Every structure is written in C-alpha cells, then in structure tokens.
C-alpha cells in the first residue's frame, strides 16, 4: 500500500455508451479508497436493470474491502435484474478471486466488451 492520500490513490473515468455504463477504476482499491467509489457504484446500481462494466485493469492493488465493494455492486445489480461485467487481465486478480471462492461469481472479460455504439460503428465501417 502506498502512502498517497486516498484522493490521489483512487481515480476513475466514466462514460455511457448505448445504455451501458463503463467505469474505469485506477490506483489502489483498499480500505481507505473503497468508500470513495462505493457511493458512485451505489448510484450506478440503483436503477432498474443497470448495465455496468467495471474496467479494473488500471487497479494496482486490491484488498478485501475492494472485493467486498465488487460483491456489493454485483448483488445490487443482480437484485435489479441488471448486468455487471468486470474487465481484468491480471492473473494475480483472478487468483485472488479463486482463493476467495468468488471465481464463478463475476462475469470477467480480458478486454472491454463491445457496447451497442461500438457495435454500430463496426457495422458502419465494415459495410463502407
């Protein structure tokens, strides 16, 4: 864990693409930074049928507080008949999920999944 302040250790970028919210999370996701993200995830998972992609590739460290935050987002999304996808290409993170017995709990991708707008753009360029 670094000695950065919680504000600088955690950053995120957010965009909405065809009804899919893509949230890129960076830095450390631990006991000091998880609360900063928790309220945003709660808001994103509050409506009916949330469709959320969390890009965790820029995350450099995650402790059990981060795992708890992901589980909460997953549970809130499932309760509202939505979809939560995690993007992660780290074998270390996948091992953490396995050890926590959460490996089959999340829909995990190694790259950002195509969103509706990206699929439309691919169709346009493919037919041109």
3-state secondary structure of 82: coil
Q: Which CATH number is associated with domain 6-127? A: 3.30.750.24
How far is residue 86's CA from residue 4's CA, in Å, rounded to a whole number?
25
Structure confidence by residue, pLDDT tens digits, 4-54: 444 434 668 999 999 999 999 999 999 999 998 999 999 999 999 999 999
- Please state, in angstroms and rounded to a whole number, the distance separating the CA atoms of residues 94 and 27: 17
What digits encode the pLDDT tens for the residues 49-84? 999 999 999 999 999 999 999 999 999 999 999 999
What span, in angstroms and rounded, lies between the C-alpha atoms of 128 and 112? 24
Backbone angles phi, psi at 12, to 5 degrees: -150, 155
């Amino acid at each position: 864990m670094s000695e950065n302040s919680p504000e600088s250790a955690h950053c995120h970028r957010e965009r909405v693409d065809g009804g899919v919210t893509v949230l890129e999370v960076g830095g450390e996701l631990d006991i000091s930074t998880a609360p900063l993200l928790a309220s945003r995830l709660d808001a994103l998972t509050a409506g009916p049928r949330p469709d959320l992609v969390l890009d965790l590739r820029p995350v450099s460290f995650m402790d059990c507080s981060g795992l708890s935050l992901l589980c909460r987002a997953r549970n809130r999304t499932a309760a509202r008949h939505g979809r939560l996808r995690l993007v992660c290409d780290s074998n270390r993170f996948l091992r953490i999920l396995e050890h926590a017995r959460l490996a089959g709990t999340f829909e995990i991708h190694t790259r950002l999944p195509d969103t509706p707008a990206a699929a439309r753009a691919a169709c346009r360029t493919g037919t041109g």
